Every structure is written in C-alpha cells, then in structure tokens.
Amino acid sequence: MTEHAAAGGAGGLPPDVPGTVVTVGTFDGVHRGHWAVLCEIGARARRRRLTSVLVTFDRHPLTVVRPEAAPPILTSPDEKKEILALSSLDYVAFLAFDRTLSFYQPEEFVRLVLVDRFRVKELVVGYDHGFGRDRTGDRKTLRRLGTELGFDVDVVSPVTANGARVKSTRIRELVRRGEVERAARALGRPYSLRGVVVHGLGRGRQLGFPTANLQAPEGGKLVPGSGIYAVRASLGWRICDGLLHLGPRPTFAGSPPSIELYLLDFEDDIYGESVRVDFLSRLRDVRPFASAEELVRQMRVDREQAMHFFAERARRDGDDREDGDDEDGRDR
C-alpha cells in the first residue's frame, strides 16, 4: 500500500496509473463493514487489472461542517494508516477536508475528485453511502453519474455483528458503555488507545500495585466508559497482559480521573514511553471503598480474575490453532 496525501484542490495519482477501482469515505474505525468494501475493491481491481484506491479524509468531515455535532473518533489518522497498511490496497489518498471540499455538490465531487484526479473506472461503496454537500448524493446519484461519465458502480451489502449492522455510530455506543468485547466483534480487532506514560502520585506503588499513568489521548479520540479492564499493552516490541483503571478514583477524595495501567509480571521503568492499550474485557465498575485496605483486597481479586481471563484466552487461542491444522500439520 502506498499512502498518497492530497489537499482538497490538488494532487492525484502518478501518471502511469491508467484506471482505478475506488472506494471513498471517512472509514472511521476501519471496521468489518469497511473491510468488506476494501476486500471487494481489491478483488475487482485484480480481475480488471486496475489499481485499487481508497479515498478518505484527514479528519472527520463533521469537524468542518458541523463541529458541534462531530463525534469522537474511533481511529486517529495514524491508527487508520497502521490498520490500512495490512490491506492489499495499492493506494490510500488522504484528502484534506476543508471548507472548499465541504461545499462540493455530489456531481462536482465525482467529476473533480474521483474522475479527474483518481481516474475511476469502477466505484464500490457501502449500502448507506452518502457524499457531497450535506450528503445529498446517494447510490442513485452515483449510478446516474457513472452512466454519464463512464464508470461502473457497485454496492456492498451490510455486515452484521452482535445481531446488528456494523456501523461506526453503533461501535461508538458500545465503546462508550464499556462493552469492549462486543465492539471488538464489530471492529474485527480489540478497540485500542495510545498514551504516553507520565508521573502520577505513586499511590499504586504504595498499595503494592505499581501502575503506569497514561496521558489522556488527544485529537478527539473516544475513550471507553469508566471501569476496570483486562487489557493487552504494546510497548514497542514488548507485549504484556495487564489491567487498566479508567475513570474516577472515588476511594481517595479529591483525586482526578485517571488512566492507570498495571502490567502483570513487568517491572521496567517506562516513563515517557508511548503505550498502546488493547481493551479485551471489562471486569467491573469503578466504585468507592471504605478504606485503602479494602481497595487492595479488591485489586487482588481483580488480578486473579484477569489472570484467569488471560489463561482462558490462551487456551482458546491454542484450540483455534489446533483446529486450523490438517493431519500433516499444514495450515488450512
């Protein structure tokens, strides 16, 4: 995959690209529904010997069009790039979404962006795709323009998870409520956030549970609902199991909300490091305790519950790998 950044009114593909299979959209979360579209354009591009292109944006369009209604994002631009790097796309174009681009009528967007700049020969979109000023363009608009301008239009059927259609808005609701396992089924991977380890009050160490305090993410990133979570933490090449306290600290009066990471079997100094946290399961609510001693007893219970969770997860992963082997040991 080649990343291609482009401003709203300039840029395009290299001159040796004759034609493309394109999809376009915000793709916040790059969830299973989005992935179905990406797989479809890749397959169609290979069949027609064309180039596959995702045209997306450097920010959520509502931050420009209606800032007061802009939702928190599931994936930052950097996270989106990391995920898309795993796809088979030939190009990803990040358009700078500005006021000029927001005023494009559907016909202008298709002509000036998809046809003139990205040489679309086939356009693949999701079932609920809307585009252009005030999202007034739809599938009927695209099919009409495709006939006029010489490109095919295909619509990918919705993907379901948890008994509902996979949509970014629905995933945001699940993450807000702390239902991270259901969110993971819709995303196709655990929900994650990244933070830098900063100095805290040292209270966790005093209680016998040294924690790494993470700086709250910026850029409108959605933070899950408060709770105690079983998590997987990535620190460069190191991956560790752990627990995460997210939210208020009611046992200690006057303490601000925090994001505190406790890593199992880990004692290195990681101040200043960037940590990615994958949310695997919500263990319980945050609640007040009558004393620090009572809190410590609960923290021990949390640790045991988390260790049981990770042991069961490892066992299931092992069973899945065995089920995926043929009798001669080759992967199916």
Residues serving a catalytic function are 260
Q: Where are the beta strands (DSSP E) in the chain?
A: 2-6, 20-24, 51-57, 91-95, 120-126, 152-156, 160-161, 164-165, 191-198, 212-214, 227-235, 238-247, 258-263, 274-284
Residues 57, 7: Cα–Cα separation, whole Å: 10
Whether the CB-CB separation of 284 and 302 falls below 8 Å is answered with yes
Q: Helix and strand tally (H, E) in the chain?
A: 10, 14
Residues 121, 63: Cα–Cα separation, whole Å: 31
Residues 230, 312: Cα–Cα separation, whole Å: 12
- Between the alpha carbon of residue 55 and those of residues 96, 104, 184, the distances in Å are 11, 15, 25
